[in-house]
Copies of this chain bind each other. A is one copy, B any other.
Amino acid sequence: MKDKVIIVGAGLVGSLLACYLGKRGLAIEVYEKRPDPRKGLRTQGRSINLALSNRGLRSLEEVGLGEKVREILIPMHGRMIHNEEGILDFQPYGRLGQYINSVSRANLNTMLLEKAEELGAKFIFEHSCTGINWQENVVTFDHQGKESRIGGALIVGTDGAFSSVRSELMKTDRFNYSQYYIEHGYKELTIPPNAEGGFMMEKNALHIWPRGNFMLIALPNPDASFTCTLFFPFEGPQSFAQLSSDEVVRKFFQNTFPDAWELIPDLVDQYNTNPTASLVTVRCYPWVKDRVVIMGDASHAIVPFYGQGMNSGFEDARVFNDLIDAHGTGWESILSKFQTIRKPDADAIAELAMKNFVEMRDQVADSRFILRKKIESELNQKFPEQWIPQYSMVTFHDEIRYSEALRLGKIQDAIMNEFLDQFSEKTWEEKDLEQIIAQYEIKKVSDH
């Protein structure tokens, strides 16, 4: 079939895109190298749960999964900060009713797959992409040593941070590419439910143990467990390399995360069993060649510290769908528009995600940062249309582009730093806040 759309990768973004295009009545085939996830084999080396926020939710609503997905979400209204003594401090993410959601990757993926199938998409598992013929617009796949060649009108690579479709683009001339690994790796650990099957910590929060250069976080799961993730340097004085014996691991957790330590009876076993994975940022351009395009992690893999990896991938699919709404399925023109519009936003969220690591592991425990959050929250209450904190723009305002949130956030930083240099807690007045807003309004325009 000449008009067929071939999607390579049946993960979250690929399945969502299949829903969008399926709704349009297009013929869709989605090829995935892994087995059907409904067969229950958990894939190693990918996080168990994810933070879903407004950008992602908007896409899910658009493909008709709004209600259904809400049944499997656990709202997280703010950050629960755990200090070295196990003392807690709750920092709301935004205003009342603004929250992010913990969601199981596997459950969400299955929901999307089944919706896409319902909308007519065909899923073909255990097929690895091995090449692209640019002249013929054909993808070759390997299935248990047997090669097949599939041609279509449009080929979309949604095959993740280590994308095979992107590897084919790498072989072509003038493809700009970078992969950058941060010094930190991560390891997942599970806090089990209590004896009654309930949560052992506050359910509706994202828990953080900020420790300067590293941190532990925890997100709630539907079975009342928490998935903890230790983000920690690979090498150096405090690093995975130093945690070389059971005794050292035990001491480290006991001293560094005492309250978490108490909730994980088999911590050392988990530590030894679970893999230590690396964290990469991938940037590249162009995303498009002929009738082939890459989306999601395949074109812009980012570090997980803003909880926007999945959300930005979902937004890719939504923007692509909006372009078809506006311009029809003349693929070549759509593809070119897509990458031009979307690249600055992908770069922006990559930068924001790196920056948020420092905020999470260090600044959330800092008194100046906490004061700033308080002032910004007051500004946002009083001037909800004018002052939207950067975190809120990224997380709750899907009508604001990532690139715009990055730009405005830099202006906010400058204004807030100046203000904080002048005032200490509770010495500011109503008119100071008005001045801030006036200053912001001017800079918003003049900075362009």
Tell yes or no: A176 within 8 A of B by CB.
Answer: yes
SS class of chain A's interface: helix, strand, loop or mixed?
strand
* Chain B residue nearest in CB terms to A181: B174
B176 touches A180 (CB 8 A): yes
Tell yes or no: A134 within 8 A of B by CB.
Answer: no
What sequence of 0s and 1s flags, for each residue 172-183 of chain A, a beta carbon within 8 Å of any chain B beta carbon?
011111111100
Which one of B173, B178, B234, B278 lies within 8 Å of A178 (CB-CB)?
B178
* Chain B residue nearest in CB terms to A283: B178
Which one of B176, B180, B278 lies within 8 Å of A181 (CB-CB)?
B176
Q: How many copies does the complex hold?
A: 2
Q: How far is the CA of A212 from the CA of B193 in the complex (A)?
A: 68
A179 touches B179 (CB 8 A): no
Which one of B177, B181, B278 lies within 8 Å of A179 (CB-CB)?
B177
Instruction: Report A232 CB to chain B, min CB distance, Å.
Output: 14
B176 touches A179 (CB 8 A): yes
Q: How far is the CA of A175 from the CA of B162 in the complex (A)?
A: 13
B181 touches A178 (CB 8 A): no
Provide the residues of chain B in CB contact with A174, threshold 8 Å.
181, 234, 278
B176 touches A177 (CB 8 A): no
* Chain B residue nearest in CB terms to A277: B173
270-288 of chain A: CB within 8 A of chain B: 278
Q: How far is the CA of A346 from the CA of B180 in the complex (A)?
A: 18
A278 touches B173 (CB 8 A): yes
135-174 of chain A: CB within 8 A of chain B: 173-174
The 5 closest A-B pairs by CB, nearest first: A178-B178, A174-B181, A174-B278, A177-B179, A176-B180
